[in-house]
Amino acid sequence: MKRVLITGAAGFLGSHLCDRFIAEGFQVVGMDNLITGDLKNIEHLFAKEEFEFYHHDVSKFIHVSGELDYILHFASPASPIDYLKIPIQTLKVGSLGIHNCLGLAMAKGARLIIASTSEVYGDPQVHPQTEEYWGHVNPVGPRGVYDEAKRFQEAMTMAYHTYHGLETRIVRIFNTYGPRMRLNDGRVLPAFIGQALRGEDLTVFGDGSQTRSFCYVDDLVEGIYRLLMSDYAGPVNIGNPDEITIGEFAEEIIKLTGTDQKVIYKDLPKDDPTQRRPDITKAKELLGWEPKVSRSEGLKITYEYFKSLPTEELYKKEHKDFKDYIRQKQ
Protein backbone atom coordinates (compact mmCIF):
# COMPACT_ATOMS: atom_id res chain seq x y z
CA MET A 1 0.00 0.00 0.00
CA LYS A 2 1.39 3.44 -0.95
CA ARG A 3 1.59 6.01 1.83
CA VAL A 4 1.01 9.75 1.47
CA LEU A 5 1.50 12.69 3.84
CA ILE A 6 -0.98 15.55 3.41
CA THR A 7 -0.17 18.77 5.28
CA GLY A 8 -3.15 21.02 5.92
CA ALA A 9 -5.24 17.84 6.06
CA ALA A 10 -8.04 19.41 8.13
CA GLY A 11 -8.46 22.33 5.75
CA PHE A 12 -10.85 22.72 2.84
CA LEU A 13 -8.61 21.30 0.09
CA GLY A 14 -6.54 19.06 2.38
CA SER A 15 -9.60 17.21 3.64
CA HIS A 16 -10.91 16.58 0.12
CA LEU A 17 -7.47 15.30 -0.85
CA CYS A 18 -7.49 12.91 2.14
CA ASP A 19 -10.81 11.52 0.90
CA ARG A 20 -9.51 11.11 -2.62
CA PHE A 21 -6.30 9.34 -1.66
CA ILE A 22 -8.15 6.98 0.67
CA ALA A 23 -10.59 6.23 -2.15
CA GLU A 24 -7.57 5.46 -4.38
CA GLY A 25 -6.33 2.89 -1.84
CA PHE A 26 -3.57 4.92 -0.17
CA GLN A 27 -2.53 4.96 3.46
CA VAL A 28 -3.00 8.63 4.41
CA VAL A 29 -1.09 10.53 7.08
CA GLY A 30 -2.86 13.84 7.72
CA MET A 31 -1.05 16.71 9.45
CA ASP A 32 -2.49 20.04 10.60
CA ASN A 33 -1.92 22.59 13.38
CA LEU A 34 -5.67 23.37 13.30
CA ILE A 35 -5.20 27.15 13.19
CA THR A 36 -7.46 27.52 10.16
CA GLY A 37 -8.25 23.84 9.65
CA ASP A 38 -11.11 22.08 11.43
CA LEU A 39 -11.20 18.49 12.66
CA LYS A 40 -14.85 18.32 11.59
CA ASN A 41 -13.62 18.13 7.99
CA ILE A 42 -11.87 14.83 8.65
CA GLU A 43 -13.73 13.34 11.60
CA HIS A 44 -15.33 10.78 9.28
CA LEU A 45 -11.81 9.43 8.56
CA PHE A 46 -10.67 8.75 12.11
CA ALA A 47 -12.36 5.35 12.28
CA LYS A 48 -10.50 4.19 9.18
CA GLU A 49 -7.36 2.10 9.50
CA GLU A 50 -5.90 3.76 6.43
CA PHE A 51 -5.90 7.16 8.15
CA GLU A 52 -3.67 8.63 10.86
CA PHE A 53 -3.51 12.19 12.06
CA TYR A 54 -0.66 14.25 13.49
CA HIS A 55 -1.55 17.51 15.23
CA HIS A 56 1.61 19.36 14.25
CA ASP A 57 2.83 22.70 12.91
CA VAL A 58 4.83 22.00 9.75
CA SER A 59 6.90 25.15 10.33
CA LYS A 60 8.62 23.04 13.01
CA PHE A 61 10.73 19.94 12.30
CA ILE A 62 8.53 17.17 10.90
CA HIS A 63 8.96 13.59 11.98
CA VAL A 64 6.89 10.87 10.37
CA SER A 65 7.90 7.28 11.06
CA GLY A 66 7.73 4.66 8.32
CA GLU A 67 7.81 5.05 4.57
CA LEU A 68 6.28 7.81 2.50
CA ASP A 69 5.75 7.69 -1.25
CA TYR A 70 4.19 11.13 -1.71
CA ILE A 71 3.97 14.41 0.20
CA LEU A 72 1.31 17.02 -0.54
CA HIS A 73 2.15 20.35 1.08
CA PHE A 74 -1.23 22.05 1.42
CA ALA A 75 -0.87 23.69 4.83
CA SER A 76 -1.37 27.46 4.72
CA PRO A 77 -3.88 30.11 5.64
CA ALA A 78 -5.59 30.80 2.31
CA SER A 79 -8.09 33.61 2.67
CA PRO A 80 -7.07 37.28 2.67
CA ILE A 81 -8.62 37.75 6.15
CA ASP A 82 -6.61 34.84 7.52
CA TYR A 83 -3.34 36.05 6.21
CA LEU A 84 -4.03 39.57 7.44
CA LYS A 85 -4.68 38.11 10.89
CA ILE A 86 -1.68 35.76 10.94
CA PRO A 87 0.85 37.17 8.48
CA ILE A 88 3.98 35.75 10.12
CA GLN A 89 2.58 32.20 10.34
CA THR A 90 1.60 32.52 6.67
CA LEU A 91 5.17 33.39 5.74
CA LYS A 92 6.56 30.64 7.96
CA VAL A 93 4.42 27.83 6.61
CA GLY A 94 5.37 28.77 3.03
CA SER A 95 9.09 29.02 3.82
CA LEU A 96 10.10 26.97 6.90
CA GLY A 97 7.19 24.60 6.25
CA ILE A 98 8.25 23.78 2.71
CA HIS A 99 11.89 23.43 3.77
CA ASN A 100 10.85 20.81 6.34
CA CYS A 101 8.65 19.02 3.79
CA LEU A 102 11.45 18.99 1.22
CA GLY A 103 13.89 17.60 3.79
CA LEU A 104 11.38 14.91 4.70
CA ALA A 105 10.82 14.10 1.01
CA MET A 106 14.60 13.69 0.55
CA ALA A 107 14.86 11.45 3.61
CA LYS A 108 11.95 9.25 2.51
CA GLY A 109 12.60 9.31 -1.25
CA ALA A 110 9.08 10.69 -1.67
CA ARG A 111 7.64 12.74 -4.54
CA LEU A 112 6.38 16.12 -3.33
CA ILE A 113 3.68 18.42 -4.70
CA ILE A 114 3.15 21.95 -3.44
CA ALA A 115 -0.05 23.96 -3.42
CA SER A 116 0.93 27.13 -5.21
CA THR A 117 -1.57 29.73 -6.30
CA SER A 118 -2.80 32.18 -8.90
CA GLU A 119 -1.61 34.81 -6.38
CA VAL A 120 1.92 34.28 -7.71
CA TYR A 121 0.66 36.33 -10.67
CA GLY A 122 -0.40 39.16 -8.30
CA ASP A 123 -2.58 41.77 -10.04
CA PRO A 124 -1.85 40.32 -13.48
CA GLN A 125 -1.00 42.40 -16.52
CA VAL A 126 -1.28 39.34 -18.77
CA HIS A 127 -4.72 37.86 -19.27
CA PRO A 128 -5.55 34.99 -19.13
CA GLN A 129 -2.57 33.92 -17.02
CA THR A 130 -0.19 31.37 -18.52
CA GLU A 131 2.46 29.57 -16.49
CA GLU A 132 5.15 31.54 -18.35
CA TYR A 133 3.95 34.85 -16.88
CA TRP A 134 6.16 35.98 -13.97
CA GLY A 135 3.53 38.03 -12.21
CA HIS A 136 2.97 41.47 -10.77
CA VAL A 137 3.17 41.21 -6.99
CA ASN A 138 3.60 43.91 -4.35
CA PRO A 139 5.93 42.23 -1.83
CA VAL A 140 5.23 44.74 0.95
CA GLY A 141 1.46 45.05 0.45
CA PRO A 142 -1.06 43.20 2.64
CA ARG A 143 -1.23 40.22 0.28
CA GLY A 144 2.57 40.04 0.00
CA VAL A 145 2.85 37.67 2.96
CA TYR A 146 0.87 35.04 1.09
CA ASP A 147 2.04 35.76 -2.45
CA GLU A 148 5.72 35.89 -1.59
CA ALA A 149 5.54 32.83 0.67
CA LYS A 150 4.07 30.90 -2.24
CA ARG A 151 6.61 32.30 -4.69
CA PHE A 152 9.46 31.37 -2.32
CA GLN A 153 7.89 27.93 -1.98
CA GLU A 154 8.00 27.46 -5.75
CA ALA A 155 11.64 28.63 -5.91
CA MET A 156 12.68 26.35 -3.05
CA THR A 157 10.86 23.38 -4.56
CA MET A 158 12.43 23.96 -7.97
CA ALA A 159 15.88 24.26 -6.35
CA TYR A 160 15.50 20.86 -4.65
CA HIS A 161 14.35 19.45 -7.97
CA THR A 162 17.26 20.93 -9.90
CA TYR A 163 20.08 20.53 -7.38
CA HIS A 164 19.04 17.41 -5.48
CA GLY A 165 17.11 15.65 -8.23
CA LEU A 166 14.02 15.43 -5.98
CA GLU A 167 10.79 14.57 -7.78
CA THR A 168 8.55 17.61 -7.37
CA ARG A 169 5.32 19.01 -8.79
CA ILE A 170 3.85 22.52 -8.56
CA VAL A 171 0.13 23.18 -8.90
CA ARG A 172 -1.01 26.80 -9.25
CA ILE A 173 -4.51 26.76 -7.83
CA PHE A 174 -7.08 29.37 -8.90
CA ASN A 175 -10.16 30.30 -6.83
CA THR A 176 -11.79 27.07 -5.72
CA TYR A 177 -15.05 26.49 -3.85
CA GLY A 178 -17.19 23.70 -2.49
CA PRO A 179 -18.35 22.01 0.72
CA ARG A 180 -16.08 22.44 3.79
CA MET A 181 -15.09 26.01 3.00
CA ARG A 182 -15.35 27.97 6.22
CA LEU A 183 -18.53 29.99 6.22
CA ASN A 184 -16.80 33.01 7.71
CA ASP A 185 -13.33 32.85 6.22
CA GLY A 186 -14.03 36.08 4.34
CA ARG A 187 -13.72 34.68 0.85
CA VAL A 188 -16.30 35.91 -1.53
CA LEU A 189 -18.42 32.80 -1.98
CA PRO A 190 -18.92 31.88 1.70
CA ALA A 191 -19.21 35.60 2.48
CA PHE A 192 -22.11 36.08 0.05
CA ILE A 193 -23.88 32.84 0.96
CA GLY A 194 -23.43 33.55 4.69
CA GLN A 195 -24.87 37.02 4.23
CA ALA A 196 -27.85 35.65 2.29
CA LEU A 197 -28.50 33.04 5.00
CA ARG A 198 -28.34 35.65 7.78
CA GLY A 199 -30.60 38.01 5.86
CA GLU A 200 -27.88 40.63 5.37
CA ASP A 201 -26.99 42.64 2.30
CA LEU A 202 -24.22 41.26 0.10
CA THR A 203 -21.01 43.28 0.36
CA VAL A 204 -19.34 43.78 -3.02
CA PHE A 205 -15.88 45.33 -2.68
CA GLY A 206 -15.07 48.09 -5.17
CA ASP A 207 -17.46 48.54 -8.07
CA GLY A 208 -17.69 44.77 -8.62
CA SER A 209 -15.99 44.88 -12.02
CA GLN A 210 -13.00 42.78 -10.86
CA THR A 211 -13.14 39.22 -12.17
CA ARG A 212 -12.46 35.75 -10.78
CA SER A 213 -12.87 32.25 -12.25
CA PHE A 214 -14.28 29.70 -9.81
CA CYS A 215 -13.43 26.01 -9.90
CA TYR A 216 -15.46 23.33 -8.12
CA VAL A 217 -13.38 21.38 -5.60
CA ASP A 218 -13.86 17.91 -7.19
CA ASP A 219 -12.46 19.19 -10.48
CA LEU A 220 -9.49 20.69 -8.70
CA VAL A 221 -8.75 17.48 -6.79
CA GLU A 222 -8.83 15.51 -10.05
CA GLY A 223 -6.34 17.93 -11.61
CA ILE A 224 -4.01 17.71 -8.59
CA TYR A 225 -4.15 13.93 -8.60
CA ARG A 226 -3.31 13.76 -12.30
CA LEU A 227 -0.46 16.25 -11.94
CA LEU A 228 1.06 14.36 -9.02
CA MET A 229 1.02 11.14 -11.05
CA SER A 230 2.45 12.84 -14.15
CA ASP A 231 6.12 13.34 -14.92
CA TYR A 232 6.01 17.13 -15.33
CA ALA A 233 7.96 19.23 -12.81
CA GLY A 234 7.09 22.73 -14.03
CA PRO A 235 4.18 24.75 -12.61
CA VAL A 236 0.71 23.90 -13.93
CA ASN A 237 -2.42 26.05 -13.59
CA ILE A 238 -5.47 24.17 -12.34
CA GLY A 239 -8.63 26.23 -12.36
CA ASN A 240 -11.85 26.83 -14.23
CA PRO A 241 -11.50 29.44 -16.99
CA ASP A 242 -15.18 30.43 -16.72
CA GLU A 243 -14.61 34.07 -15.70
CA ILE A 244 -17.20 36.30 -14.03
CA THR A 245 -17.23 39.76 -12.46
CA ILE A 246 -17.81 39.88 -8.70
CA GLY A 247 -20.86 42.07 -9.32
CA GLU A 248 -22.41 39.39 -11.55
CA PHE A 249 -21.40 36.75 -9.06
CA ALA A 250 -23.33 38.54 -6.30
CA GLU A 251 -26.40 38.55 -8.57
CA GLU A 252 -25.99 34.80 -9.14
CA ILE A 253 -25.90 34.20 -5.38
CA ILE A 254 -28.98 36.36 -4.87
CA LYS A 255 -30.83 34.22 -7.44
CA LEU A 256 -29.51 30.94 -6.05
CA THR A 257 -30.47 31.70 -2.46
CA GLY A 258 -33.70 33.56 -3.24
CA THR A 259 -32.73 36.25 -0.72
CA ASP A 260 -34.50 39.59 -0.93
CA GLN A 261 -31.39 41.40 0.27
CA LYS A 262 -29.50 43.69 -2.05
CA VAL A 263 -25.92 44.40 -3.02
CA ILE A 264 -24.06 47.11 -1.12
CA TYR A 265 -20.65 48.43 -2.09
CA LYS A 266 -17.55 48.68 0.15
CA ASP A 267 -13.99 49.85 -0.47
CA LEU A 268 -11.85 47.59 -2.59
CA PRO A 269 -9.05 46.03 -0.48
CA LYS A 270 -5.54 47.20 -1.33
CA ASP A 271 -3.87 45.30 -4.20
CA ASP A 272 -7.05 43.31 -4.96
CA PRO A 273 -6.38 41.76 -8.40
CA THR A 274 -8.57 43.35 -11.10
CA GLN A 275 -8.81 40.22 -13.24
CA ARG A 276 -8.03 36.53 -12.99
CA ARG A 277 -8.54 33.64 -15.36
CA PRO A 278 -6.32 30.60 -15.84
CA ASP A 279 -4.96 29.57 -19.20
CA ILE A 280 -5.30 25.79 -18.82
CA THR A 281 -3.69 24.73 -22.10
CA LYS A 282 -0.87 22.97 -20.21
CA ALA A 283 -3.23 21.02 -17.96
CA LYS A 284 -5.26 19.95 -21.00
CA GLU A 285 -2.21 18.87 -23.01
CA LEU A 286 -0.13 17.29 -20.25
CA LEU A 287 -2.84 15.80 -18.05
CA GLY A 288 -5.87 15.54 -20.32
CA TRP A 289 -7.63 17.57 -17.62
CA GLU A 290 -10.34 20.16 -17.81
CA PRO A 291 -13.10 21.11 -15.39
CA LYS A 292 -16.38 19.21 -15.68
CA VAL A 293 -18.62 20.86 -13.08
CA SER A 294 -20.39 24.04 -14.20
CA ARG A 295 -20.69 26.96 -11.80
CA SER A 296 -24.45 26.52 -11.52
CA GLU A 297 -24.09 22.83 -10.53
CA GLY A 298 -21.21 23.50 -8.15
CA LEU A 299 -22.95 26.44 -6.50
CA LYS A 300 -26.08 24.38 -5.88
CA ILE A 301 -24.10 21.65 -4.08
CA THR A 302 -22.16 24.23 -2.07
CA TYR A 303 -25.29 26.13 -1.07
CA GLU A 304 -26.91 22.89 0.14
CA TYR A 305 -23.81 22.25 2.26
CA PHE A 306 -23.88 25.69 3.87
CA LYS A 307 -27.63 25.39 4.49
CA SER A 308 -27.12 22.07 6.26
CA LEU A 309 -24.73 23.55 8.85
CA PRO A 310 -26.07 24.20 12.35
CA THR A 311 -27.38 27.78 12.65
CA GLU A 312 -24.76 28.67 15.29
CA GLU A 313 -22.08 28.29 12.58
CA LEU A 314 -23.55 31.38 10.96
CA TYR A 315 -22.93 33.41 14.10
CA LYS A 316 -19.67 31.89 15.37
CA LYS A 317 -17.01 34.12 16.91
CA GLU A 318 -15.16 34.11 13.63
CA HIS A 319 -18.10 36.01 12.25
CA LYS A 320 -17.31 38.85 14.63
CA ASP A 321 -13.82 39.07 13.12
CA PHE A 322 -15.41 39.09 9.72
CA LYS A 323 -17.71 41.95 10.73
CA ASP A 324 -14.71 43.87 12.07
CA TYR A 325 -12.93 43.30 8.80
CA ILE A 326 -15.88 44.65 6.82
CA ARG A 327 -16.16 47.59 9.22
CA GLN A 328 -12.52 48.55 8.67
CA LYS A 329 -13.34 48.96 5.02
CA GLN A 330 -16.19 51.39 5.50
Report the interface residues with ligand UDP, using CB under 6 A.
Answer: 79-80, 175, 187-188, 191, 203-205, 210, 212, 246, 268-269, 272
Choose between 15 and 203: whose C-beta lies nearer to ligand UDP.
Answer: 203
Q: What minimum distance in Å lies between the beta carbon of 278 and ligand UDP?
A: 12
Question: Whole-number minimum distance, CB 111 to ligand UDP, in Å?
Answer: 28
Q: Which residues contact 239 (CB under 8 A, 6 or more apart)?
A: 118, 172, 173, 174, 175, 176, 213, 215, 220, 277, 278, 280, 291
Nearer to ligand UDP by C-beta: 15 or 117?
A: 117
Give least dist CB 69 to ligand UDP, A: 32
What gap in Å lies between CA 268 and CA 285, rounded to an integer?
37
Query: Of residues 70, 83, 121, 146, which has the active-site annotation?
Result: 146
CB of residue 67 to ligand UDP, shortest distance in Å:
36
Between 268 and 314, whose beta carbon lies closer to ligand UDP? 268
Q: Which is nearer to ligand UDP, 18 or 115 (CB)?
A: 115
In the residue annotation, 146 being an active-site residue is answered as yes
* Dihedral angle of Cα 180, 55, 35, 40, to the nearest 10 degrees: 30
Q: At what angle do helices 188-198 and 295-308 cross, to 10 degrees?
A: 50
Any alpha helices (H) in the chain, and if so which ranges? 12-23, 80-85, 87-108, 144-164, 188-198, 217-229, 246-257, 281-287, 295-308, 311-314, 317-328
Residues designated catalytic? 146
